[in-house]
Amino acid sequence: MSAALPNQATTTPAIEVSGLRKRYGAGDTAVDALKGVDLTVQPGEVIGLIGPSGSGKSTLLKCLGAVTEPTAGRIALSGETVYDGGWRNLDPRALRRDRIGFVFQAPYLIPFLDVTDNVALPLLLAGRSNRGARQRARELLAALDVEHRAQAAVAQLSGGEQQRVAIARALANQPPIILADEPTAPLDSERALAVVRILNRMAQQYQTAIIVVTHDEKIIPTFKRLYHIRDGRTYEEAGEGREFG
């Protein structure tokens, strides 16, 4: 990586989580998925989130993405406290639309829209003009090397192409944060590395903070910093930060 890590002392973290807890259900059947998570991600940083199945990785992403409401703790995004025992002055839907991009294990593109409009969709939902949104979508598709498929139906794309389109969609409204849940799971190692490369490039280019949940041994060595979740708690680790590409 050529870009230096931002100075943690002077930069406001993109994501700052402390003591985050999440309990599913109540009574005898309650599950404590998160039991006090602490985590910090700087703008432009790509971190890995690893841990055994059922350890709470997806739950953490859902809490950060305002998809699921946590039970206790604190979340601050770009220095603004958004959760503090309850959502603070905010519409979770608007937060997701304006400040967060999601990438999932499966691309989950909208089959009835073509590639360009899938990427443009978050912008259109935010009220941008069709023309402006499509213009931006084509730029992103070009950046991700899928612009030649811009007019295609999503069903005609390969798995790797679909995943790149999904990443373009996550980037569309230039969110300060991207949350990716096992984005490389369906891809071969070459394509998986390509996706990580793209995410890193985007992080540098747009100062996006990116959390990548993964089991994928091929990509784990690429992270400079990792969080390990075990039994609902996070443990920070230094990663290998191996060069790739």
Residues that bind another protein (CB under 8 A): 58, 61-62, 65, 67-68, 93-94, 96-98, 102, 104-106, 108, 110-113, 117, 121-122, 124-127, 130, 153, 169, 181
**Strand, coil or helix: what is 180?**
strand
The continuous run of DSSP H or E covering 75 comes out as strand 72-77
Closer Cβ to ligand ATP, 32 or 98, answer by number: 32
- Closest distance between another protein and the C-beta of residue 104, in Å? 6
CB 27 within 8 A of CB 58: no
User: Should residue 79 be labelled a site residue for ligand ATP when binding is judged by CB under 6 A?
Assistant: no
Q: How far is the CB of 114 from another protein (least distance, A)?
A: 9
Taking the complex as a whole, the smallest distance from the CB of residue 96 to ligand ATP amounts, in Å, to 18
Interaction of residue 54 with ligand ATP, rule CB under 6 A = yes
CB of 51 to ligand ATP, least distance (A): 6
Q: Does 226 bind ligand ATP (CB under 6 A)?
A: no
Q: Which residue number has the CB closest to Mg ion?
A: 58
Q: In angstroms, rounded to a whole number, what is the distance separating the alpha carbons of residues 225 and 214?
A: 13
Residue type, 67: V
Q: Is 58 in the site for ligand ATP (CB under 6 A)?
A: yes
Q: Does 55 bind ligand ATP (CB under 6 A)?
A: yes
Q: What does 33 interact with, of another protein, Mg ion, ligand ATP, none (CB < 5 to 8 A by kind)? A: ligand ATP
User: What long-range pairs does 198-207 form, CB within 8 A, spacing at least 24?
Assistant: 198/144, 198/164, 198/167, 199/46, 199/167, 200/1, 200/46, 201/143, 202/143, 202/167, 202/171, 202/178, 203/44, 203/45, 203/46, 204/1, 204/2, 204/3, 204/44, 206/171, 206/174, 207/43, 207/44, 207/176
C-beta of residue 62 within 8 angstroms of C-beta of residue 180: no
**Separation of alpha carbons 53 and 229, rounded Å:** 10
Q: According to the binding rule CB under 6 A, does residue 214 interact with ligand ATP?
A: no
Residue 43 binds which one of Mg ion, ligand ATP, another protein, none, with CB within 5 to 8 A depending on kind?
none
* Binding stretches for Mg ion (CB under 5 A): 58
Using CB under 6 A, list all residues that contact ligand ATP. 24-25, 31, 33, 51, 53-59
